[in-house]
Amino acid sequence: MKVTTKGQVTIPQNVRETLGITPQTDIQFVEDNGKFYIIKSDAPETKGKINKFRGIATAKMTTDEILSLTRNA
Protein backbone atom coordinates (compact mmCIF):
# COMPACT_ATOMS: atom_id res chain seq x y z
CA MET A 1 0.00 0.00 0.00
CA LYS A 2 1.38 3.40 -0.95
CA VAL A 3 0.68 6.79 0.53
CA THR A 4 -0.24 9.54 -1.94
CA THR A 5 1.41 12.96 -1.93
CA LYS A 6 -1.63 14.17 0.03
CA GLY A 7 -1.03 11.55 2.75
CA GLN A 8 -3.95 9.38 1.63
CA VAL A 9 -4.22 5.60 1.47
CA THR A 10 -7.01 3.34 0.25
CA ILE A 11 -8.51 1.18 2.99
CA PRO A 12 -8.85 -2.31 1.47
CA GLN A 13 -12.41 -3.45 0.77
CA ASN A 14 -12.27 -6.40 3.17
CA VAL A 15 -11.18 -4.08 6.00
CA ARG A 16 -13.96 -1.56 5.17
CA GLU A 17 -16.53 -4.37 5.14
CA THR A 18 -15.28 -5.87 8.42
CA LEU A 19 -15.36 -2.49 10.18
CA GLY A 20 -18.59 -1.36 8.53
CA ILE A 21 -16.90 1.66 6.99
CA THR A 22 -18.98 3.28 4.26
CA PRO A 23 -18.65 6.68 2.58
CA GLN A 24 -19.00 9.51 5.12
CA THR A 25 -18.05 7.23 8.07
CA ASP A 26 -15.91 9.00 10.65
CA ILE A 27 -12.84 7.02 11.69
CA GLN A 28 -9.98 7.58 14.11
CA PHE A 29 -6.41 6.36 14.25
CA VAL A 30 -5.53 5.16 17.75
CA GLU A 31 -1.94 4.51 18.86
CA ASP A 32 -1.15 1.72 21.33
CA ASN A 33 2.48 0.90 22.16
CA GLY A 34 3.76 2.06 18.78
CA LYS A 35 0.99 0.35 16.77
CA PHE A 36 -1.86 2.22 15.14
CA TYR A 37 -5.43 0.98 14.84
CA ILE A 38 -8.34 2.23 12.74
CA ILE A 39 -11.59 2.48 14.65
CA LYS A 40 -14.99 3.87 13.78
CA SER A 41 -15.59 7.14 15.57
CA ASP A 42 -18.40 7.45 18.10
CA ALA A 43 -19.62 10.52 16.19
CA PRO A 44 -23.37 10.59 15.57
CA GLU A 45 -24.59 9.11 12.30
CA THR A 46 -25.12 11.45 9.36
CA LYS A 47 -28.64 12.82 9.50
CA GLY A 48 -30.98 12.52 6.57
CA LYS A 49 -33.16 9.85 5.06
CA ILE A 50 -30.89 9.22 2.08
CA ASN A 51 -27.41 9.56 3.62
CA LYS A 52 -27.85 6.57 5.95
CA PHE A 53 -28.16 4.32 2.90
CA ARG A 54 -25.11 5.70 1.09
CA GLY A 55 -22.68 3.00 0.02
CA ILE A 56 -24.86 -0.04 0.82
CA ALA A 57 -26.51 -0.71 -2.53
CA THR A 58 -26.13 -4.24 -3.83
CA ALA A 59 -27.96 -3.92 -7.16
CA LYS A 60 -25.92 -5.21 -10.06
CA MET A 61 -27.47 -2.72 -12.46
CA THR A 62 -26.00 0.14 -14.40
CA THR A 63 -27.12 3.70 -13.75
CA ASP A 64 -28.92 3.70 -17.10
CA GLU A 65 -30.85 0.53 -16.15
CA ILE A 66 -31.90 2.03 -12.81
CA LEU A 67 -32.97 5.30 -14.43
CA SER A 68 -34.94 3.36 -17.05
CA LEU A 69 -36.85 1.57 -14.28
CA THR A 70 -37.68 4.78 -12.47
CA ARG A 71 -38.71 6.65 -15.61
CA ASN A 72 -41.01 3.91 -16.83
CA ALA A 73 -42.84 3.60 -13.51
pTM over 0.75: no
The per-residue pLDDT for 20 is 86
The per-residue pLDDT for 7 is 93
Let me know if residue 30 belongs to a domain: yes
Residues of the chain below pLDDT 70: 42-49, 52, 72-73
- Spatial separation of the C-alpha atoms in residues 14 and 29, rounded to whole Å: 18
Three-class secondary structure of residue 61 per DSSP: coil
The per-residue pLDDT for 39 is 86
Let me know if residue 46 belongs to a domain: yes
Let me know if residue 28 belongs to a domain: yes
How many helices (H) and strands (E) in the chain? Answer: 2, 2
Domain of residue 26 covers 13-71
Let me know if residue 31 belongs to a domain: yes
Let me know if residue 6 belongs to a domain: no
